[in-house]
Structure 1
Amino acid sequence: MPREDRYDRVKRAVDISVSALGLFVSAPLQAVIAAVVLAAHGRPVFFRQARPGLHGEVFELVKFRTMRHPDDTHVTDAERLTGVGRFLRSTSLDELPSLWNVLRGDMSLIGPRPLLVDYLGRYSPEQARRHDVRPGITGLAQVSGRNSLSWEDRFALDVDYVERRSLALDLSIIGRTVVAVLRRQGISGEGEATMSPFLGSALSSDHGQDRVVGA
């Protein structure tokens, strides 16, 4: 069996085991978070959005909602992002429901972050290689600067992960993820409450980032 096939099988087994255990262990915490989100933001508690996964196939990403609904006084992401939402994002607690996506096979624990469906036609052929693997809850770009990276640097790291993926690299990323979350590094792009949109390699600015509208 080729090395990559063995790795993919082991990784999928780890994803299933860890996500199932994580959902079970975190169930009481998620119940508390859901109650807090309901009180702070109202319904719905969960943010759901179509995202491209392996080979660009679209799935529904699930996270805790971190923004209030837009209204006359809360229009921009900076205005809609609440204190509760900012805390959930900075601690990555908003990602806990995404363990369900991992268990289903939509995502992996480690891999390039799933971005917007609208971006599929904006990638260069090299950047599109990020979809050669399942997207992840965390990944090489997230532990190398997260949203403070330029789009080009971020995609280069995604492709680097695709080329070098291994269990050793995954373990390294997990360790670095713990450190990044504890330090709350790179939560937002420069001058952004969340992230600014990717317009394509020829159009994106040096510090352009992805804004997840309505998250």
Structure 2
Amino acid sequence: MIRVVLALFALFVLVGAAVANDQGGGVLVYGGSGKAGWGIMADVPQGWTSDCCTYAKAIGVNLALYQGEWTGKPERVILLNVWDRTLPTLQAELDADRRQYMQRDPKATIEPLPIVASANMVCKGVFYRGSDHEDDAVVFCEPPTSSGVRVSWSMTVADADPERSNLLKIFAHIAGRANYMSCRSGCSSTPNARGH
């Protein structure tokens, strides 16, 4: 019982810390199998909406961050996806993603996307310049090996978007500052989110 109380206290302290940042707030997205749960704390920029359970669920991701109202278009939407680890390494995930992208768009170009990873996840980024003038920033992160999951952040942005540079900075900030948390017992099996 004391562990549960201490864990809840730590969670509220972390949520409070996310609220106190200068970007507008934070969100905690969580899920798990009941044996090993996970949580991701992420900043939410001022004026952005965090959605785990309506649009995000409909498109099959754990979290969607977007400005203002949902448009249904992929541009300017930051997506978080958490899945059970199936490939042996983070590099293997990145390589598989590159292959899939190039199969869809053989004329695309690929560049590394520098990302400063959080203290408790190793992250690698890639930037796809699509031949359709829609570009994709993708960051794959690996929480501690015992978690059994991998994490990705992604965002599509148009070449001609006047806010492109700022949007990519926001994306890098969110992906780079995301914080992984784990739960070993008494975890919820339903992905969810709490925002503040």
- Tell which has more relative contact order, 1 or 2 (C-alpha 8 A, sep 6+): 2
User: Which structure dedicates a bigger proportion of its chain to strand?
Assistant: 2
User: Which structure dedicates a bigger proportion of its chain to helix?
Assistant: 1
TM above 0.5, yes or no, is no
